[in-house]
Structure 1
Amino acid sequence: MDRRTLLTATSGMAAACFFPAFPRASNTMVIRYEAMPSRFTGARNVSVWLPPDYQTSKRRYRVLYMHDGQNIFAGSHAFGGESWRIDAVMEARAAEDPDHAAIVVGVWNTKMRAQDYTPTGIEKAMDSELRTRAIEENGGASGADGYLRFLVEELKPMIDRDYRTKSDPASTFIMGSSMGGLISAYAICEYPHVFAGAGCLSTHWPIVCRGQVYKTHTCDTQAMIKAITTYLDQKLPRPGTHRIWMDHGTQNLDSIYAPYQQAVDQMFTAKGWRQGVDFESRIYDGADHNEASWRARLKEPLAFLLG
């Protein structure tokens, strides 16, 4: 049964009942789908943010899909109570220029997050020792291919059916942070005919180093870089057709990302991608691995990807 919870973007408070269709309202809103089922991955919540003029216009909108969806709007469900506040940033962009408006679809994570967000293709490219370690630390083999099939074959068709979207690849984007950045890069490689751009903030290229583990310096850096570049060499879309934003900070977990990102940047350049045109790679000195840091720089990847 279709059950959609209406929330206001300003208060983040759920309405007392479920709405079978989009209600009339004057402010921006978030509609939450509870425990959306899938044939390919575990059920999960999905939140849909609509631009301020959605109810008063007849226009169609580009769509930005975001991972870790409980962390991107109000802080009530966000990790540590901190959110990206993507709604506020998108509302400001739309106020500057109506053509910047876009629908934001937040796909919540589950307890299978590590498996969902570990790219299957990169896992397959690992040597046997590194692959065994990744599977052990993630609690199982990669489920990314199933997760992406949910996005592409089930969720996107529903969003395009129920909302006034521009459904073409040039109007469809994907974004996330940490392992959400990793799966965003994987999505544009596996589905270049679906997504025109990917935002990969603090991309967790190491995969096996999370939490405090990175402090022990046992990340198998060179072996992981080999797996990543092997995959990208085979699957990176041809240049001139897509845009990818990648970045990282310099504090805590972000402090170990530089060698991975440098190798990825070199692969992009070798494949003919132009920095500043087809891809962007930034370092934010002093930035940490958390929602507050990603919120602080969110305007820049959005401007690069969405114009």
Structure 2
Amino acid sequence: MIVKFDLFSTQLERNIKIHMYLPDDYISSQETYPVLYMFDGHNLFFDEDATFGRSWRMLNPLYELEKKIIVVGLECNHNGNERVSEYAPYPFYDPEFDETIEAKGKQTMDFIVGTLKPYIDLHFPTIPNRMNTWIAGSSCGGLMAIYALCMYSQYFSRVVALSPYVLPIHTSLFYTAKKSHIKMPSGLYVSWGAHEGSTGHEFISETKVLTELANILLKKGVHIQFDVQPYGEHCEASWEEITPQFLRYLIK
């Protein structure tokens, strides 16, 4: 079942809509469940909620999963360029908007671990320890998931980053990865597609950055699983195709 509700974030000073998947029998089963936190929650389940009219259609893969889990998706800020700002751990110049993006990624993560997770653990049958708490996202949300691995690993043991938006801030991300203390065991599933961007140069650059990042994280003991998609694009339809794979990665 899908539950939607608003939760106020003191960190971002606004209400955030939560799109939450729960096993249909969660009330009667008396079970407790791992929790996957996800960015862009409005894009996860239903096409009518999705920004571009196409969601990840996650319900069927969740129904078919061998182990039941809870998914908690937070809707992004749709005002102007605020989504990028709230999903940016570091400021950067965006040539498309000809402006420097303000970094509110830390506030977003502080909301997740300081407000959202305690609320979910209090009101729903979760397994709250880090081994059963995961985080995932795509594009800017994928960047945020990697940032969470580096800076909030005391809360999350496994991270999924699909088509992460790393190129504009890779220098800052490398620095964070090198300096951070990442709690073990930790794992990262990272996927990107050869057909992202208008030319093959973006794929080559993204591959170089993600390979270098993986080498930094491997030296710290992080388990890395690459999933390069030869025909993958930067869109919900492509991320839907690999949803079964990353869900199995999380529960294995």
TM-score of the superposed pair, with normalisation by structure 1: 0.74
Aligned match of 2:75: 108
Aligned match of 1:73: 45
Q: 1:133-181 CA distances to partner (integer Å, 9 max, x unpaired)? A: 58x7566410011111110100000000000000000000111111110
Unaligned runs of 5+ in 1: 1-28, 124-130, 208-223
- Structure 2 residue corresponding to 1:258, chosen from 189, 204, 225: 204
Which has the higher mean CA deviation after the structures are superposed, 42-51 or 175-184?
42-51
Structure 1 residues 245 and 192: alpha-carbon distance in aligned structure 2, compared to 1, 3 A threshold: same
Aligned match of 2:166: 205
Q: Is the 8 A contact 1:252 1:288 kept in 2?
A: yes
SS class of match (1:148): helix
- Structure 1 residue corresponding to 2:32, chosen from 60, 83, 95: 60
Structure 1 residues 105 and 133: alpha-carbon distance in aligned structure 2, compared to 1, 3 A threshold: closer
- Distance in 2 of aligned mates of 1:186 and 1:225: 11
Q: 1:98-130 CA distances to partner (integer Å, 9 max, x unpaired)? A: xx110010100013110011113xx4xxxxxxx
Unaligned runs of 5+ in 2: none
Greater relative CO (CA pairs within 8 A, separation 6+): 2
Aligned match of 1:241: 185
Q: 1:55-105 CA distances to partner (integer Å, 9 max, x unpaired)? A: 330010000011001000111110221111122211110xxx3xx110010
Aligned match of 2:236: 291
User: Residue 157 in 1 paired to residue 118 in 2?
Assistant: yes
- Distance in 2 of aligned mates of 1:296 and 1:160: 30
Task: Show the 5 A alignment for 1:212-223.
Answer: none
Q: 1:256-276 CA distances to partner (integer Å, 9 max, x unpaired)? A: 14323433323433453599x
Structure 1 residues 67 and 297: alpha-carbon distance in aligned structure 2, compared to 1, 3 A threshold: same
Task: Show the 5 A alignment for 1:155-234.
Answer: 155-207=116-168, 224-234=169-179
Q: What RMSD in Å do the two structures reach over aligned CA positions?
A: 2.4
Please report how far the alpha carbon of residue 241 of structure 1 lies from its aligned counterpart in structure 2 after TM superposition.
Answer: 1.2
Q: Is the 8 A contact 1:71 1:79 kept in 2?
A: yes
Please report how far the alpha carbon of residue 37 of structure 1 lies from its aligned counterpart in structure 2 after TM superposition.
Answer: 1.2
User: Residue 32 in 1 paired to residue 4 in 2?
Assistant: yes
Matched residue type, 1:177: S
Q: Is the 8 A contact 1:63 1:172 kept in 2?
A: yes
Q: Is the 8 A contact 1:225 1:260 kept in 2?
A: no
Matched residue type, 1:287: G
Q: 1:280-307 CA distances to partner (integer Å, 9 max, x unpaired)? A: 1221011111100100111111112222
- Distance in 2 of aligned mates of 1:70 and 1:229: 30
Count of residue correspondences = 246
Matched residue type, 1:269: N
Q: Is the 8 A contact 2:18 2:73 kept in 1?
A: yes
Greater Rg over alpha carbons, structure? 1
Please report how far the alpha carbon of residue 236 of structure 1 lies from its aligned counterpart in structure 2 after TM superposition.
Answer: 6.1
- Distance in 1 of aligned mates of 2:236 and 2:213: 28
TM-score of the superposed pair, with normalisation by structure 2: 0.89
Matched residue type, 1:72: L
Structure 1 residues 138 and 69: alpha-carbon distance in aligned structure 2, compared to 1, 3 A threshold: farther
